C-alpha cells in the first residue's frame, strides 16, 4: 500500500539526476539548498511551488502500490513514480527521453 511511503527517507543512490535537471532546465544549485512541501488530494490538480522557485501544475494518482505524479515544469511534462521495493523507496522520474532513478533508505 501507499502507506509504506510514509516516513523520513535518506538518499542512497541516484542515476541520471544531472541529465534530468538539464532536461527540465533546472539548475542544481537552485534546488540543492531548498526543501519544499506540497499538500494535495489524490486525483486533483494543484499548483505546486517547486524547489527552483517556479510554479507548476501537478496531479497525484495511485496505481496499485505506486504513487504517480504527473507534473508540468515550465511547459515540460514529466512523471514521477514512487514505490517501495525491498524496504527501499524507489523514485523514478521520466522527462522527455531521460529517466532518473533515485533510491532512498529509511532515515
What are the residues whose beta carbons fall under 8 Å from the beta carbon of 32, sequence distance 6 or more?
Answer: none
Q: How confident is the model at residue 87 (pLDDT cuts 50, 70, 90)?
A: very high
* Radius of gyration for the alpha carbons in the chain, expressed in angstroms and rounded: 13
Q: Please choose, from the candidates 75, 106, 99, the residue with its C-alpha nearest in 3D space to the C-alpha of residue 17.
A: 99
Q: Of the given ranges (54-58, 60-64, 79-83), which has the lowest mean pLDDT?
A: 54-58
The grid cell for 103 is 533510491
**CATH for 2-36+45-106, among 3.10.580.10, 3.40.190.10, 2.60.15.10, 2.40.128.20?**
2.40.128.20
Whether 43 and 51 have beta carbons less than 8 Å apart is answered as: no
What pLDDT does 25 receive?
80
Domain spans, the chain: 2-36+45-106
Under DSSP, the state recorded for 92 is: E
8-61 pLDDT, tens digit each: 899 999 999 999 988 988 776 555 555 667 789 999 999 988 777 778 899 999
Amino acid at each position: 500500500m501507499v502507506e509504506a511511503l510514509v516516513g523520513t527517507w535518506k538518499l542512497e543512490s541516484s542515476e541520471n539526476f544531472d541529465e534530468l535537471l538539464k532536461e527540465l532546465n533546472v539548475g542544481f544549485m537552485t534546488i540543492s539548498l531548498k526543501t519544499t512541501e506540497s499538500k494535495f488530494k489524490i486525483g486533483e490538480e494543484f499548483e505546486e511551488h517547486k524547489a527552483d522557485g517556479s510554479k507548476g501544475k501537478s496531479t497525484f494518482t495511485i496505481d496499485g502500490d505506486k504513487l504517480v505524479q504527473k507534473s508540468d515544469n515550465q511547459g515540460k511534462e514529466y512523471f514521477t513514480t514512487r514505490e517501495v521495493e525491498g524496504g527501499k523507496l524507489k523514485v523514478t522520474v521520466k522527462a522527455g527521453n531521460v529517466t532518473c532513478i533515485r533510491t532512498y533508505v529509511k532515515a
